[in-house]
Structure 1
């Protein structure tokens, strides 16, 4: 019997070691940006707090099973009239309540801190993202270019993604950079992320949307600022324009590879939001859109 216990413990320890060694495959555990790093801290912190409960409970389970096992010469005290212990009741209620309170407070503080990039992080780059069946469209309002199934961003600069859907609701997720955010018809959801180093990071749709869902992946390529500017210039020079008719073709359910466009209809993103019930969208983005139109009017 004892040998079985030891074999089980050794096997469990080996499994944990093996999983730790394989963690390189999971970008969530190896973030490359400040948002992902803060979320990894929350994962570790919540795991530690959970371990405060889980480890003693498992240890007590093993102790009780061993100490009070059915054995002829077992000397464990037999107390058939015992019913409760106020001390034990206090311990096993107070500790979880305290842990939940600490976890809730820390999670709320960290989550609200991540709603906006730090003030000293520089001017964010805005990218408008539209989820389609089964592809992602990225529009750069400042650069006035667009891409399909990939986005190029400058390293070390916060990126403000503005998300919507012109198809069933989906969820935008770049595991190496940070958590996911929903892309919903008639809404303009915000998610800021940042890559602290160059590289290509996989993004995906995390909400099932039909038979082409498995192909709804995209790449986020982080490059130096100068390389990003060069890429923008190359796209403007060599890629075709995205027209309204071309966007109608993109909207049709299909699986496709990467594409680039040197321009796109100016109000395409906002028109997409509004036609899908944009009255529910974030008022902040409606105000921004009105300000942009007023600025364009003054320019003309």
Structure 2
């Protein structure tokens, strides 16, 4: 009777834990599990596969642990002889080494496959755009080479269009992250890192710095808003005609001040400012080319290999 009660409690515990995990995945707070673009979808697929493969090991091990603790517990009146003669079992050795090796092989295959698949965006009829992103203390500067406009702590993109983010830093290293669109990429001084993302549908997406950089780190949040191409073009034209210009002095002030910032828009910015930021910190470049785009196609960028 006691054994049956214990097994019932263990079963109830596992069911409750599994229910909590599944329900948490349905919550809107878990935005990593609610992808809105092809990169996020691929990464969610990899997360699910990894979770299943880990569960294949973790759940049986926990079940065996509970069984062993119960089955071999000491209790009053236990007069079983102590016979430590057992040394090994080839069958068990094959099981507990073979299964992890197979799981690691499967996980490695899917990880490599998805990682290489994400180095370039899917080929579409939509013309990709480039946005240069500079990590500052404690804000994000977005520059649009094609549109010749800039924003702070706000990024607007056309929906259904691949976006090539070119990332650098004029402050301590940080990590650029838009969870619903894809994984993070580091923004480092002296480097121009590449990250392509795409929003399949119009919407507003949370973005943030994901690397601790000091007291203002918690305020390094921004919004990525995806709009239809026509609305994006209208927004860029509106910024071009209504927002103030970001002068050389203003750029120096913006990049040198260690403070947070509200959303700002600028109708222009100093030519070559992004390249100067990269060059003054060493000028090393790391990049993944967009399909159909060479280094010289990237506005304002002279890429060194």
TM-score by length of 2: 0.89
From 253, 256, 259, the equivalent of 2:264 is 259
Equivalent pair of 2:239/2:265 in contact (CA under 8 Å): yes
Change (3 A) 1:293 1:219: closer
Residue 194 of structure 2 contacts residue 286 of structure 2 at CA under 8 Å; is this kept in 1? no
- Cα distance, 1:76–1:50 mapped onto 2, change above 3 Å: farther
Alpha-carbon distance change, 44 to 292 in structure 1, aligned in 2, over 3 angstroms? closer
Whether 2:172 is the aligned partner of 1:168: answer: yes
CA 1:76–1:92: 2 relative to 1, 3 Å: farther
SS at match of 1:119: coil
Deviation at 1:91?
1.1
| Residue of structure 1 equivalent to 2:24 | 22
Task: Go from structure 1 to structure 2 and tell me whether the alpha carbon gap of 1:101 and 1:22 turns closer, same or farther (over 3 Å shift).
Answer: closer
Measured in 1, the distance between the counterparts of 2:298 and 2:185 equals 26
- Matched with 2:232 is 228
Measure, in 2, the Cα distance between the counterparts of 1:283 and 1:80. 60
Taking the aligned partners of 2:288 and 2:107, their CA distance within structure 1 comes to 31
CA contact (8 A) 2:134 2:169 kept: yes
Q: Against the structure 1 CA distance between its residues 160 and 284, is the aligned structure 2 distance closer, same or farther, given a 3 Å change threshold?
A: closer
2:96 is the counterpart of 1:96: no
Give the corresponding residue for 2:189.
185
Please, what is the CA RMSD of the aligned residues?
2.5
8 Å Cα contact 2:177/2:209 also seen in 1:
yes
Deviations 1:237-278 (A, max 9, x none): 110011111111111111110000001112111111111110
**What is the Cα deviation at residue 106 of structure 1?**
1.2
Residues matched between the structures, number = 293
The answer to whether structure 1 residue 13 and structure 2 residue 15 are counterparts is yes
> Conserved in 2, the CA contact under 8 Å of 1:68 and 1:76?
no
Greater helix percent: which structure?
A: 1
| Structure-2 change in CA distance of 1:65 and 1:79 (3 Å) | same
Matched, 1:237 2:241: yes
1:119 to 120, 123, 133: 123
- Residue of structure 1 in register with 2:110 after alignment: 106
Consecutive unaligned residues in structure 1, runs of 5 or more: 295-300
TM-score (norm 1): 0.90
1:188 match: secondary structure: strand
